[in-house]
Structure 1
Amino acid sequence: MAKIERFEDLEVWQTSMKLCADIYKITNSELFSKDFGLKDQIRRSAVSVPSNISEGYERDSKRQFMYFLVIAKGSCGELRTQLKIARELNYIEEFVFSEINNQCVSTSKQLKGFINYLSTYKDKK
């Protein structure tokens, strides 16, 4: 693998940024306006994914990086649960839920693969 010089070059970070932007678009709907608590929590979980990837990348060791990737993966799970709640409350239509949930699952799988790769990769970072 070529050395990544910036976290912005990580595919998983780029994917998580798209997920985050899509979450903001979805939660901008009027249906979410009456439930600020859930809207805020969904957005916080979404922001947590790329934020933890970038924070971990900027840390001083591979071990710390992996720790923050695990946190980001956990935030994906948290986000999926919150989206399911929003779906149950009819804040999100089924086709929108299905699409965004698939993005969450895909991002989580990317994170898992990257964590697995880093756990076997011999490098200082």
Structure 2
Amino acid sequence: MRFEQLDVWKRASRLSCEIYKATETVQNWGFKDQITRSGLSVPSNIAEGEERETNKEKVRFLYYAKGSLGELVTQLYIGIEIGYLEKHSSLEMVKEAKELAKVLGTMIKKKESKIKEEPAVYQTK
């Protein structure tokens, strides 16, 4: 399956677009850059991982995506608190980010269980 067909990639891509729209009027370039990078990192790492050859490599990039979701949730909360982001829509994005993290966690577990089944030639130390 291509990454473009994955529901988690589609949802993460939509979330990234929402973040860009929500921060359109933010004047603090550092905050805006950081939160949009976190959001963009999620679907990007899902895609990069799915293009890798082994499950071990795929898992590594899924962990990166999951980590970026943690960053994003933190930045959304801070953006709300300091008045950069509208509360209701940002809390909806937090909810979506947390749901995506759960989906990625499930994907990671499934792929990790398959790592043990891969031929030794694909396993790296």
1:24 paired to 2:24: no
Q: Which residue of 2 aligns with 1:84?
A: 77
Unaligned runs of 5+ in 1: none
1:8 paired to 2:4: yes
Amino acid at match of 2:43: P
In the TM superposition, what are the counterparts of 1:1-125 in structure 2 within 5 Å?
4=1, 6-28=2-24, 30=25, 32=26, 34-121=27-114, 122=117
- Give distance in 2, aligned partners of 1:67 and 1:114: 12
- Give distance in 1, aligned partners of 2:90 and 2:11: 17
Aligned-pair identity in percent equals 41
- Runs of 4+ aligned residues of structure 1 deviating over 4 Å after TM superposition are 122-125
Cα shift readout 1:29-52 (whole Å, capped 9, x = no counterpart): x2x1x2010001000000100111
- TM-score normalised to structure 2 length: 0.88
- TM-score normalised to structure 1 length: 0.88
Please provide the CA RMSD for this pair: 1.6
Shift of 1:93: 2.2
SS at match of 1:107: helix
Cα shift readout 1:17-72 (whole Å, capped 9, x = no counterpart): 111111111111x2x1x201000100000010011111111112110000000000
Shift of 1:120: 2.1
- Give distance in 1, aligned partners of 2:83 and 2:102: 27
